[in-house]
Amino acid sequence: MSGKGGSNRLKRIGILGGMSYESTLKYYDLILQKYYAKNNDYHYPEVVIFSLNFQKLIDFELGDDKDIYIRYLMSGIESLENAGVSFIAMAANSPHAVYNELAELSKVPILSIVKTTALKAKQENMKKILLLGIKFTMQSTFYQEYCKKIGIEVITPSDKEQNEINSIIFDELVIGFFKQDSKKRLLQIIKQYEVDGVILGCTELPLILNQNDIELRLLDTVEIHTEAILNYYLSLSQL
């Protein structure tokens, strides 16, 4: 957790979404499902979603100007701040490449998907994990850097496999297509590596892969992040 904010703020969750809309819908759904499972009442959290332009985000993410990328993400964060949120969660892994910069600029805390996932891996005594995601995430180092601090090695698939995974995500998952052949291919890639677990480091991957598909432990970043979001919200609500 990083950022600023006080206990006197309205207890309201901010979701920076649209990266893609498929995973943003899952975030909203899971947060409310989890709330009811824990509390068995209808006092659901107030949730504000700001959905970014996905194509703009991709273009800025893959472009050469990091500052433009940060500014675009901050435009969404500022909109959430103006809506009175207590804290923010980015419903995607890849923007966490600039998490430190965003956390410094944000007026409210930003709950990191990387930190919550890494701590889950630590709790389960994992030493070496495979990272799957879009190519940008797999070729970045933000997961590796954080996990190294807590004694976990993160590896990535080969360049060819990264291209395949990237294509499955962008050509299928983000628009709601789930093909059995693609699922089989992802499982084939995973089974080639000697690891303790796998980070599903794209919030669309849990839409096609789940723990029932494989014995190896899958770290579902959507599940882990939404659990952390709700727990943090509940901790604020007790203040």
Peptide bond into 79 cis (omega under 30): no
If you average pLDDT over residues 195-214, what whole number do you get? 95
Residue 3 has pLDDT above 90, yes or no: no
d(CA 171, CA 84): 35
If you average pLDDT over residues 33-49, what whole number do you get? 97
Query: Residues near 23 by Cβ (< 8 Å), separated by ≥ 6?
Result: 17, 91, 92, 203, 204, 207, 222
CATH topology of domain 114-221: Rossmann fold (3.40.50)
Residue 1 has pLDDT above 60, yes or no: no
d(CA 189, CA 174): 20
pLDDT at 6 (0 to 100)? 42
43, 84, 112 from 87: Cα distances, Å:
18, 9, 11
**Which residue in this structure is represented by tokens 């070729």?**
139
Q: What is the pLDDT of residues 146-191, one digit of tens each?
A: 999 999 999 999 999 999 999 999 999 999 899 999 999 999 999 9
Residue 8 pLDDT level (bands cut at 50, 70, 90): very low
Residue 9 has pLDDT above 60, yes or no: no
Residues forming a β-bridge with 6: none
The architecture (CATH level 2) of 12-112+224-237 comes to: 3-Layer(aba) Sandwich (3.40)
**Intervals of CATH 3.40.50.1860 along the chain:** 12-112+224-237, 114-221
Residue 20 pLDDT level (bands cut at 50, 70, 90): confident
